[in-house]
Amino acid sequence: MIEVTNLTVTYKDLVAVDSISFDVKKGEIFGIIGPNGAGKTSTIECLEGLRKISGGEVTVMGINPVNRTALYEHIGVQLQEASFPDNIKVKELCRLFSSFYKNPADYNTLLTRFDLADKKNAYVKKLSGGQRQKISVVVALIANPEIIFLDELTTGLDPQARIDMWELIKSLRDEGKTVLMTTHFMEEAEYLCDRVCLMVKSRIAAIGTVKELVEQAQLSQKITFISKNAKRESLEGIPGITKITENNGVFDLYGNGRNLLRDTVVYITEKNIEFEDLSCSKPGLEDVFLKLTGYKLEAAI
Amino acid sequence: MKAFVSMSVTEFRLSLRNFIYMFFAFVFPPMMLLLFGGIYGNEPTAFYKGHGAVDVLTPAYISMILAVSGIMGLPMQLAEYRQHKVLKRFKATPVSTGTIMIPHFVVNSILCVIGTLILMIVGKLVFNLHFFGNIFYFLAAYILSVMCIFSIGFLIAAIAPNNRAASAIAYLIYFPMLFLSGASMPLQMMPKAIVNVSRFIPLTYCVEILQGTWMGDPLSAFLGQIIILAAIAIVCTAVSIKIFRWE
């Protein structure tokens, strides 16, 4: 659906995007994640035909985004921080955007689906932040798009509104639409995205499914339990465990492998090692980011 | 076409919801007319060279309406749209640049005409307003004035870095223009220095051709004014198109 080859964007002497390449497949949610200033918005705006490309090549459904008129019959966008005219009502806004397209989607259906049917006569600026963001998705969907671009859609939303939004985005994918989104929330990317592209300092640091990225980063899982009779030496035979620490009867075991938890439980059960409060924490995207960059994403925001 | 009409209708509605704009375009000029018409009446006087005060003031106040739409309404809308990335959002649709921009000019022109008609109706009902000119000459003068003033508004929108700057520039130009051009008070009442300053204010020439053609002068009597207004319109429009930024 989307192909990006060696895309470069420069502003005067600043390189915002430095020769990146990736592709987005039909029907997937593709996330570009990274700290502010990593080049996420510049990248997405090149795909939307809103920004000049300094180098490389971009096609969206085979169309060069410079060709706005052709492109926008197929895509719907939500722009970061963009708002709608002051004093416009929800209904008027929907009607206006419907007039822009040859085959617009029925906005009444969309408003109902997004739980905004009773807000039709409300002024857009009087809506809550979450409702306004929903409106911007409704407006993007009026285009009847095959691809939807969402730029920092959930930034500034409260946790409940964010989770509502996640379900809505998932439902779009489930009806066969392709979603390309940017975010700086790791949990959001983990929960929503089929594939993610980690952008750091204008470049792609890693790309793939969350699982692939975690495996590639070779991060350890951590298994913790409390035991009265375990000895460190007696645990060393567990397959896959590479490091063991003990503190007052609390054991932390680090290691890799698909069956690490099962192997551990089987091993300590066979050895008649007593254990309680056993838990296993798997590394996530946040840990991948930390390993690749040396800092936590949350700390960068 | 569907998009263009829809855009224009929406912009028209939104303008009607802008209280300050509506006050200065629809209410303030008739108020001025009622006030000064109430003082001077509409009987022929020597000061207005044998014409009634209301007959002379009405075309001047019409230029005041043009200034409100062109210098305040238009640039403030465009600057606001740019600052809040509304223009950018419209660009992220299949509509053409013209469909995004031209409705602003169309809608503000229509508001001008409505304001003008309100003023004329008030003048007619209260003071028995007279029109002495050729309607086609007057319309030509009106259209040229609109084009000139709107091009200045477009330039303000293009230059202003944000909507606060646009409002500041608009107010800074609008109010002095009003008092120094003869749009609100006849230049005959003003000292020589102000009359000299008025020569540098485009609205002065609008007042002159509107008042002149209203009173029955032919367009040919205003060749100088016409050239100046047309030149301003062309230069400002060209420069604005060149430097206008979408975000």
- Quick one: closest CA in A to B12, which residue? A88
Using the Cβ of A88 and the Cβ atoms of chain B, whether some distance falls under 8 Å is answered with yes
- The pLDDT of residue A17 is 93
Chain centroid, CA A59 distance in Å: 21
**Using CA atoms, how far apart are residues B156 and B166, in angstroms rounded to an integer?**
6
| Of the partner residues A81, A87, A99, the one whose CB lies closest to the CB of residue B14 | A87
**Using CA atoms, how far apart are residues B1 and A299, in angstroms rounded to an integer?**
50
From chain A, the residues in CB contact with B17 under 8 A are 87
Alpha-helical regions (H) of chain B:
2-16, 19-22, 28-40, 53-67, 74-83, 86-91, 97-127, 135-159, 163-180, 192-198, 202-215, 223-243
- The pLDDT of residue B131 is 95
pTM value is 0.87
- Quick one: closest CA in B to A91, which residue? B10
The first and second tokens of residue B25, run together, are: 């375009």
- Quick one: closest CA in B to A69, which residue? B94
From chain B, the residues in CB contact with A97 under 8 A are 93
The yes-or-no verdict on residue B21 having pLDDT over 70 is yes
Q: What is the pLDDT of residues A239-253, one digit of tens each?
A: 888 888 888 889 888
Using the Cβ of A148 and the Cβ atoms of chain B, whether some distance falls under 8 Å is answered with no
User: How many residues in chain A?
Assistant: 301
Q: What is the pLDDT of residues B191-228, one digit of tens each?
A: 898 889 899 999 999 999 999 999 999 999 999 999 99
**Using CA atoms, how far apart are residues B78 and B166, in angstroms rounded to an integer?**
9
Q: Let me know: does B229 contact B145? Beta carbons within 8 Å.
A: yes
From chain A, the residues in CB contact with B13 under 8 A are 92
From chain B, the residues in CB contact with A95 under 8 A are 6, 10
Rounded to the nearest 5°, which phi and psi values hold at B129?
Answer: -60, 140
Q: What is the pLDDT of residues B109-166, one digit of tens each?
A: 999 999 999 999 999 999 999 999 999 999 999 999 999 999 999 999 999 988 899 9
From chain A, the residues in CB contact with B96 under 8 A are 69
Instruction: Report the number of distinct structural domains present in chain B.
Output: 1
ipTM, two decimals, is 0.90
Burial of B135 (0-12, 13-18, 19+ CB in 10 A): exposed
Rounded to the nearest 5°, which phi and psi values hold at B186?
Answer: -60, 140
- The pLDDT of residue A242 is 84
Domain that holds residue B60: 2-243
The first and second tokens of residue A34, run together, are: 């990274």
The yes-or-no verdict on residue A295 having pLDDT over 80 is no
Provide the percentage of residues in chain B whose pLDDT is more than 90: 82
Give me the CATH topology for the region A220-282.
Alpha-Beta Plaits (3.30.70)
| Of the partner residues B13, B81, B94, the one whose CB lies closest to the CB of residue A100 | B94
Sequence spans of domains, chain A: 2-215, 220-282
Cα dist from B37 to A194, B22, B119, B175, whole Å: 73, 22, 12, 21
Burial of A34 (0-12, 13-18, 19+ CB in 10 A): buried
User: In sequence order, what DSSP letters do the residues of B164-218 get, joined into one string?
Assistant: HHHHHHHHHHHHHHHHHSSSSS-GGGS-HHHHHHHTT-HHHHHHHHHHHHHHT--
Superfamily of domain A2-215 in CATH is: P-loop containing nucleotide triphosphate hydrolases (3.40.50.300)
- Quick one: closest CA in A to B96, which residue? A69
Q: Let me know: does A166 contact A133? Beta carbons within 8 Å.
A: no
Residue contact B14–A68, C-beta within 8 A: no
Cα dist from A46 to A53, A66, A182, A200, whole Å: 6, 9, 13, 18
Burial of A205 (0-12, 13-18, 19+ CB in 10 A): middle
Using the Cβ of B94 and the Cβ atoms of chain A, whether some distance falls under 8 Å is answered with yes
Using the Cβ of B5 and the Cβ atoms of chain A, whether some distance falls under 8 Å is answered with yes
